[in-house]
A and B are shown apart, each in its own frame.
Chain A
Amino acid sequence: DSGVTQTPKHLITATGQRVTLRCSPRSGDLSVYWYQQSLDQGLQFLIQYYNGEERAKGNILERFSAQQFPDLHSELNLSSLELGDSALYFCASSPPQGGAAGELFFGEGSRLTVL
């Protein structure tokens, strides 16, 4: 158990819909990362938050948005869903600055299926 909690574990929805994925980082971790894993694209970095502020942005579509709340949990919002958005979405957290460099602790992922 990594200590990172993601909900829901599985989600099935239709094209055009909107979903919210939730992530609770490990206790004490300030950074949250979102990754998308699909068969054709592999693991793609979406976005990173650090203590409530956006730190880095990757290949995140405009239809997607994220935020990190004061209690440090994070939500990834996916809207106007398309078939190609079907993937496993991972959240990861990492220790505060000065901790284990680059070590990310991953949740078990949220599997999104768009029909």
Chain B
Amino acid sequence: AQSVTQLGSHVSVSEGALVLLRCNYSSSVPPYLFWYVQYPNQGLQLLLKYTTGATLVKGINGFEAEFKKSETSFHLTKPSAHMSDAAEYFCAVTSNFGNEKLTFGTGTRLTIIP
């Protein structure tokens, strides 16, 4: 079974500051990892994903994440926060390529301070 733990249910950063959202995973097989974003009153949207290959993956809206096997982590970062980044972010894991279900973390609500 796989699981993800998101540290910090709420994170606040100033506009222009670094965004760091933490995610640690647990998986007995090589994981595939994802970050999804949920804007108010909307469904979830894929930000980025790691399946195989390069461990630093870039996503939409300037976000990136690095897969660190030794630390079982997949933290999400963005160098400079923008007001439009305010949303809820979910880390997710699956262990198979294809149409297998994702297991989501509990989410981190990101607030941007003007």
From 68 to 111 in chain B, residues with beta carbon under 8 angstroms from any chain A beta carbon are 90, 92, 94, 97-107
Q: CB-CB contacts of A80-109 with B at 8 A, as 1s and 0s?
A: 000000000010101011101111101111
Query: Are B101 and A109 in contact, with the CB atoms below 8 A?
Result: no
Q: A31-B99, A56-B100 are in contact. Are A102 and B34 (CB under 8 A)?
A: yes
CA distance A31 to B102 in the complex (A): 13
Q: Is B14 an interface residue (CB 8 A)?
A: no
Contact of B99 among A2, A42, A50, A58 (CB under 8 A): A50
User: Given contacts A43-B107, A104-B102, is CB(A2)–CB(B45) below 8 Å?
Assistant: yes
Interface of chain B residues 7 through 32 with chain A (CB within 8 A):
32
Q: A42-B106, A42-B107, A43-B107 are known contacts. Are A98 and B43 too (CB-CB below 8 A)?
A: no
How many angstroms between the C-alpha atoms of A104 and B49 in the bound complex?
11
Q: Which of A90, A101, A102 has the most CB of B within 10 A?
A: A102
State whether the Cβ of B41 lies closer than 8 Å to any Cβ in chain A: yes
Which 3 A-B pairs give the minimum distances between C-beta atoms?
A: A106-B43, A43-B104, A31-B99
- The number of residues on chain A lying at the interface, defined by a beta carbon within 8 Å of a beta carbon of chain B, is 29
| Pair count A-B, CB < 8 A | 65
Contact residues on B (Cβ < 8 Å of other chain), bracket: 20 to 34
B residues apposed to A, CB below 8 Å: 32, 34, 36, 41-46, 49, 51, 90, 92, 94, 97-107
Q: Which chain A positions have C-beta within 8 A of B92?
A: 102
Does A102 lie within 8 Å of B51, measured CB to CB? yes
A101-B32, A108-B43 are contacts. A48–B99 as well, Cβ < 8 Å? yes
